[in-house]
Amino acid sequence: MYMYQWHILWIHTKGSAMKTTVVIDEQLMKAAMKAAGVKTRRQAIELGLKELVRRKNLAELRAELGTYDLTLDIEELKRLRSAS
């Protein structure tokens, strides 16, 4: 059994596609597919890339906004909204 296997992937982004060949650890790919609940390598890769971008965007948003105390209960939230 080979540790690495070549895969040809199609990566779609807003109507465009990019064809590329990459070397991916087969056990890692199987684990990712199982964790994501997908049936194809392409789905696993696209989902992983989307998640990476989502996390990066969230980190940038957190850095831009700073931190806030979000330990409000529903009554305090309603009071703050009505005061605005």
14 neighbors 7 (Cβ within 8 angstroms): no
Could you report the per-residue pLDDT of 8-54, keeping only the tens digit for each? 555 555 667 778 888 999 999 999 999 999 999 999 999 999 999 99
Q: 32 CB contacts (<8 Å, ≥6 apart)? A: 44, 48
pLDDT number for residue 58: 86
Dihedral sign from CA coordinates of 56, 57, 60, 61: negative
Among residues 29, 53, 59, the alpha carbon closest in space to that of 41 is found at 29
Does position 5 have pLDDT exceeding 70, yes or no? no
pLDDT number for residue 50: 93
pLDDT number for residue 44: 96
pLDDT number for residue 2: 45
pTM exceeding the 0.95 threshold for the entire prediction = no
